[in-house]
Amino acid sequence: MAKRSETPIEERDYSTIYFVCSALLALTTFWAVLDMIWVRSPWQRTQVQFNKMEREQLVAKREELIAQMDQNGYAELEKNLAAAQAELQSETYQKALADSAQVAHEIADAVQAYRFAKSEADAEYYLFKEAQYHNDTDAYQQHGQKYRADSTKAVEWKAKWDDAEKRKLEIQTSLNGYRQKITETRAQMAAMTKEIDDLSFRIDRINERSIKIQQVVMTEFVKGNFQNFINNVDRCHTCHTAVSRKGFENLEQPFTTHPSLDTLLKIHPVERFGCTPCHDGQGSALQNAAFAHGEVKHWERPLLRGRFAYSGCNKCHANEL
C-alpha cells in the first residue's frame, strides 16, 4: 500500500477528517444552544412555573365563584331574562312597535305640513303688510284672508303634531317597560359575573404574558473601586416575579410577596430601586440562584439573610439610623 505522502493531493481521502470536524461542529453548536436556552436560563423556567401556579390559583378561584354564582340565583336570572326576551315577541309589544312606526310617520307628515303652512302664512303676512303700507285695499283684504287661513292651518297642524308627540311618548314608555326588564336583568347578571370576568381576563393575560428579563437600571447609584459613580443593574424580580404583588404571601421563594409590601416597598418600589440596594447580592446575574445571590467566589456583597436581611438600609439612610 502506497504511503499517504506518495498519493497525489487531489487523490487523497479527507472524509474522516471532514466527518470528525462536522461532528465536533454539530456537538458544539448543540452545546451552545443548550447552554443558552437551558443551562444559562433557569429564570425562564422559573417564570413559566410561576405563570402556571398563578393560572391554577386564578382558575380555582374562578371555579369557586362559579359554584357560588349558581347558589346565588344566577340560573333564576337567566330564566327571567329569557322570559323578558320572550315578551318582545308578544302581540302587545309587536302592536306597540307598529303604533310607534305609525306615529313616527304621522309626526313627520304633521311637521312637514306645519312648516309649509307656516311658510305660506309668513309669505302672506309680508304681502298683507306691504299692501297696508301702499294703501292697496283689495290686495290688503285678499292677503289678509289668505294669511288668516294659512295661520289657522298652521295652528291645526301644530296641534296634530303635539298630539302625535304625546302618543309617541306614551308608546315609548310602554316599549321601555318591556326593555327595562331586560336591561335590569342583564345588569344584575353582569354584576354577579364581574369578578369572574375579571379573573378570566387575568387568566387570558397570563396566557399571553411573554417570558422576559425584568431589569432596573439605577444611574450612577454606587461607587466603583476608583471612587467614581457607576450604574447598578438589578434583575432580581426576573425570578421574584410576585415580590411587589399581593395575593402570593403563602408561596415559597422565589414566588412569595414581599413581607413589607405596604410599608417599605410602598416608598421603595422595585420598579425603581430593585432589590440589591437593600439586600445585596449580584443583581445582574441570572445563570443560577447562587450567582444571583452573590454566593460565589470574589463577590464581596452576598445576599443578606436572617436578622441581617434589612441591614442594608444604612447605605442610604445612615443619617436617620
The confidence score (pLDDT) of residue 310 equals 85
Q: Which residue has the cell 289668505?
A: 146
Q: 258-299, pLDDT tens digit by residue?
A: 999 998 999 999 999 999 989 999 999 998 899 999 999 888
**Burial zone of 284 (CB within 10 Å; 0-12 exposed, 13-18 middle, 19+ buried):** middle
pLDDT at 233 over 80: yes
Cβ neighbours of residue 192 closer than 8 Å, sequence gap 6 or more: 69, 72, 74, 77
The confidence score (pLDDT) of residue 69 equals 80
**Helix, strand or coil, per DSSP, at residue 254:** coil
* pLDDT above 70 as % of the chain: 98
Is the overall model pTM greater than 0.85, yes or no?
no
* pLDDT above 90 as % of the chain: 50
The confidence score (pLDDT) of residue 111 equals 93
Cβ neighbours of residue 183 closer than 8 Å, sequence gap 6 or more: none
Degrees, nearest 5: CA angle 254-255-261: 100
The confidence score (pLDDT) of residue 38 equals 86
Q: Give the pLDDT band of residue 153 (cuts 50, 70, 90).
A: very high
Arithmetic mean of pLDDT, 167-178: 90
Question: Which candidate, 281, 278, 282, places its Cα nearest to that of 314?
Answer: 278
Q: Give the pLDDT band of residue 226 (cuts 50, 70, 90).
A: confident
DSSP letter at 110 equals H
**Helix, strand or coil, per DSSP, at residue 296:** coil
Residue 166 CB-half CA count within 13 A = 6
Q: 290-313, pLDDT tens digit by residue?
A: 999 999 988 888 999 988 888 888
The answer to whether 264 and 317 are in contact (CB under 8 A) is no
Question: Which candidate, 49, 57, 52, 59, places its Cα nearest to that of 238?
Answer: 49
The answer to whether 233 and 214 are in contact (CB under 8 A) is no
The confidence score (pLDDT) of residue 2 equals 57
pLDDT at 81 over 80: yes
Better-scored residue on pLDDT, 37 or 24? 24
The confidence score (pLDDT) of residue 311 equals 85
The answer to whether 124 and 150 are in contact (CB under 8 A) is yes
CA distance 320 to 127: 94
Arithmetic mean of pLDDT, 43-60: 94
Question: Which candidate, 235, 195, 201, 196, places its Cα nearest to that of 215?
Answer: 235
The enclosing H or E element of 205 equals: helix 137-208
User: In DSSP terms, which residues pair with 234 in a beta bridge?
Assistant: 216
Residue type at 241 in one-letter notation: T
CA distance 296 to 300: 9
The confidence score (pLDDT) of residue 49 equals 95
Q: 99-115, pLDDT tens digit by residue?
A: 999 999 999 999 999 99
CA distance 137 to 318: 107
What mean pLDDT is reported for the chain? 89
